Structure 1
Amino acid sequence: MLTRRLALGAALAATAFAGAAHAQSWKSAYPELVLAVVPAENASGVTDRYGPFVEYLSQALGTKVTLRVANDYAAVIEGQRNGSIHIAGYGPASYARAVVTGVKIDPFVTSVNGDGTMGYYSVFYVRADSPYKTVDDLKGKNLGLVDPNSTSGNNVPRFALNKMKINPESFFAKVTYTGSHENAVLALQQKTVDVAANWWNSEDDSNLTRMAKKSLAKKDDFRIVYKSDLIPNSPYAYLDSLPADLKAAITKAFLEAPTKAKAAFDKLSDGKDREFVKVDTKYYEPVVELIKFVDQLRKQKS
């Protein structure tokens, strides 16, 4: 009996040692992990929002996690294509663009809104002091979009306008990509555009409410003239080539963030999100189909 116990103990110890050695092996292969996010706001805003969360990830994973603030959505996609970005926070459309163009990534979590829903909307804002009540009223005016790979700031608006039988490039006097959701609102504020696309969760949770909190804009200065159907919440995706145990550790760290690093987690959404939940490629298949549709639209219009 004693011999069997010793043998069992030795086997368990060997398994634990092998597991520890395996974990150590990915840590030696990945002494640093890079997390990048698409630019919803200006660079200092992204750094401030993600700083504590990145510190938490470094502690939870036991390896250095570095935040990379990308200049545009394409930079995040290309960073994952060339393997220099290990984890990325995408919008649904930029994730789909990465997949459609052959980037080997796996979505692993998305956020749950405070009310339990798992989606958001694309909206068209106009200035509250403008005469425009509907999209039709904006014929011949200037449209501000966000980025070619933005879901709520380009792809869903183009899909919606197509449903309205509107070709943006001929309907509007000018179509401008502003670079970020904040910039789109600022362009509208400064009257360089007459209507701006943006993301919106609810009356008290949107890019505009976040800007108002930072005194960059006043919520009452703007009015919504169009709101889309629900869009699946944004995914985080890691490289498909990462070791399975590293992927599991990253997923675990994200899922545990709301309890183990509540302040850091809350800062990501100004306290508006409830938790992270697991997702997979199947969850975003409708968005991949949307991107393919928008690509077809462009080909038809060009």
Structure 2
Amino acid sequence: MLHRRTLLGAATMLAAAPTALHAQAWKAAYPELVFAVIPAENASGVLNRYGPFVDYLTRTLGTRVTLRVASDYAAVIEGQRAGNIHIGSYGPSAFARALTTGAPVEAFAIEVNLDGSKGYHSVFYVRQDSPYRTIEDLRGKNLGLVDPNSASGNNMPRFALNKMGISPEQFFGKVVYAGSHENAVIALSQGTVDVAANWWNDEVESNLQRMARKGMVKAADFRIIFRSEQIVNSPMAYLASLPAELKSAIRTAVMTLPRQDPAAFERLTDGKARPWEPVDNAAYQPIIELNRFVDGLRRQRG
């Protein structure tokens, strides 16, 4: 009986050995993982929001995870195409652009709103004290966009304006790219632009509400004059070339964050989101089509 138990124990250890060996293999190959974030807010805001999450990933994965705040949306795309960024937190248009420009990436987690929906909107803000009530009132005024690869800050606004028969470069006095959603609101607040595009989930969560919670602006100083149709929420994506065991470990760590480190999840979402849910690249096909439409508009402008 003792001999039989010994053999069974040895068999169990051998069965488990390949998994352990695979885990050790990827840890040896990846002593550091780079997690990059598009610049939706200023650098200090990104560090404050994502720092605890990256620390959690380091503890959970057992390998160092470094946070990189990208200079612009394209930097995350280029970094993943080059293999220098292992995990990226994208906006939907930037991720769609990554897919169509050859970046070997796989979406694995999607943001989920408090009401269970998985989408958000592009809005046009004006200052509360301005006379503007409709887009048509802004002819000859200055438009603030975010980044050429932003869904809510460029592509959806351009799509919506086109449906109104408006070419931004011809209709507005000037079209300004602010670089981030926060910068677009600041430009509007300071009068650099007269209307600004931004992201908006609902009345309780938006970039404007986040800025108000940080004391950067007062939400009551702005109002919405246009809201788009819904855009699919932002994904996290990793390199397709990562070992399967590492991908599984990353997915598990992200999905279990709210339970394993509630404080880090609270910091990341301001308590305004549900846990991530699984997603794949196919969910962003409509955004690929949106990007193509906007690219066509740009070619028409010459």
When normalised by structure 2's length, the TM-score is: 0.98
1:92 maps to what in 2? 92
Cα deviations across residues 213-245 of structure 1 (Å, max 9, x unaligned)? Answer: 111111011010000111111000000110011
Deviation, 1:78, is 0.7
Q: Please state if 1:26 is matched with 2:26.
A: yes
Corresponding residue of 2:289: 289
Question: Structure 1: where are the runs of 5+ without partners?
Answer: none
Partner of 1:115, secondary structure, is coil
Distance in 2, Cα, partners of 1:295 & 1:5? 67
Q: Offset of 1:6 from its aligned partner?
A: 4.1
> Which runs of structure 2 are paired with 1:62-211 in the superposition (5 Å)?
62-211=62-211
1:153-173 per-position Cα deviation (integer Å, ceiling 9, x unaligned):
001101111111111110111
Which has the larger displacement, 21-30 or 292-301? 292-301
Q: Which amino acid aligns with 1:90?
A: Y
TM-superposed deviation, 1:63:
0.6
**1:274 maps to which residue?**
274
- Following superposition, the deviation at residue 269 of structure 1 comes to 1.6
Q: Residue 123 of structure 1 aligns to a residue in which SS?
A: strand
2:209 is paired with a residue of what secondary structure? helix
Aligned residue identity for 1:237: A
* Counterpart Cα distance in 2 of 1:140 and 1:59: 53
- Quick one: distance in 2 between partners of 1:10 and 1:163? 69
Partner of 1:117, secondary structure, is coil
Distance (whole Å) between structure 2 residues aligned to residue 167 and residue 192 of structure 1: 20
Q: What does residue 46 of structure 1 align with?
A: 46
Match of 2:233 in 1: 233
CA apart distance, 1:33: 0.4
One-letter identity of the residue aligned with 1:36: A
Q: Deviations over 1:136-162 (max 9, x none)?
A: 111111000000001100011011111
Q: CA deviation at 1:107?
A: 0.3
**3-state SS of paired residue (1:130):** coil
Matched ranges for 1:54-65 at <5 A: 54-65=54-65
Distance of 1:136 and 1:188 partners within structure 2: 18
TM-fit CA distance, 1:294:
1.2
Deviation (angstroms), 1:7: 3.8
Task: Give, in whole Å, the separation in 2 of the partners of 1:257 and 1:238.
Answer: 17
In structure 2, the residue matched to 1:254 is: 254
AA aligned opposite 2:289: E
User: How many Å separate the matches in 2 of 1:5 and 1:281?
Assistant: 47
Cα deviation for residue 301 of structure 1 reads 2.0
3-state DSSP of counterpart to 2:276:
strand
Gaps of 5+ in 2: none
Distance 2:15 2:169 in 1: 62
| Shift in Å, 1:9 | 2.8
Q: How far apart are the structure 1 equivalents of 2:261 and 2:148?
A: 34
Aligned letter for 1:98?
Answer: A
Helix, strand or coil at the partner of 1:196: strand
Which AA in structure 2 matches 1:261? D
- TM (normalized to structure 1)? 0.98
**Matched letter for residue 45 of structure 1:** G
Structure 2 CA distance, aligned partners of 1:15 and 1:158? 56
- Secondary structure of 1:40's aligned partner: coil
Measure, in 1, the Cα distance between the counterparts of 2:7 and 2:200. Answer: 60
- Structure-2 separation of matches of 1:164 and 1:97: 25
CA distance in structure 1 between the aligned counterparts of 2:113 and 2:80, rounded to whole angstroms: 27
CA distance in 2, matches of 1:92, 1:121: 12
Q: Following the alignment from structure 1 to structure 2, what is the Cα–Cα distance between the partners of residues 8 and 121? A: 58
Match of 2:11 in 1: 11
User: What SS is found at the alignment partner of 2:126?
Assistant: strand
Give 1:201's aligned amino acid. Answer: N
- How many Å apart are 1:10 and its aligned residue? 2.1
| Other-structure match for 1:300 | 300
Aligned-pair Cα RMSD in Å: 1.1
* Separation in structure 2 between the aligned mates of residue 198 and residue 11 of structure 1, nearest angstrom: 59
**Matches of 1:3 and 1:282 in 2, distance apart?**
53
- How many equivalent pairs are there? 302
- 1:35 alignment partner AA: F
